[in-house]
Structure 1
Amino acid sequence: MESSEIVFVNDSHVTFKGACSREEALALHQALVCRLNELVEQKFETVELDLRQVDHIDACGCQLLALFLEHLRRHGIMPAVCLGPEVAAEISLLGFSETFSVLPSL
C-alpha cells in the first residue's frame, strides 16, 4: 500500500491519494488540522473533499475524516465529499456510512 498524500488543488478543494489508515494517522491528522485552520481563517462556506484516489481506508482513517468533517460544520463550513466505489464500500463496512452519507456528493 502506498502512503497517503493530501493535495490541495485550490483553496476549497482537497484531494486525498493513497491510504487513509492507522499507519498514516499522524501525518493525516497534522495535515487536516493545518487545513482546517486555513479554511476557518479564510472563512470558506464550502469545502470539497475528493476521496476517489484513496486506495484504502480503515477505521482510524474514517474517524479522522469524520472529526475533520464535524469541525468544518461547527465552523459553518459545509463539506461535500466524492467517494469512489471501493472506498464507499470500505466506509460502509466499517459502519461510517451515516457520517459520510449526510454529505452532498460532488
Structure 2
Amino acid sequence: MSDAYCSDCKRQTEVVFDHSAGDTVCSECGLVLESHSIDDPVRVGGPTNPLLADGGLSTVIAKPNGASGDFLSSSLGRWQNRGSNPDRGLILAFKTIATMSDRYYY
C-alpha cells in the first residue's frame, strides 16, 4: 500500500494494488486510479508479429551517428544483412506495405 492523490476524493489517500487485475485502487472510494498497469504493451516490450518465425523479436543493429555525424557501426549492419534470415522476404514485404500505406494516407 502507498499514498497517491485520488481525483474522486480530492485528497491524498491510501491506494491498494490489485495484483490479479493489475489495477491501482483508492482505498477510500474504490476508484480505479490506474488500470491494467502490468499488461501495458508500452511498458513490457515491443510488438510481436505471429507471422514471423521468431515472432518479430530478433535483434536489429542500428546505425547510430557519432558526434561528428559519421556512422559508428556500419560494419555490424553489413554483417547483419549478410546473415541468413528465413523471414527476410516477409519483412521486406511488411516494410513495403507500410511505406505504401504511409504514402496513401498522406
TM-score (norm 1): 0.23
Structure with greater proportional strand content: 1
**Structure with more contact order per residue of length (Cα contacts < 8 Å, sep ≥ 6):** 1
TM-score (norm 2): 0.23
Structure with greater proportional helix content: 1
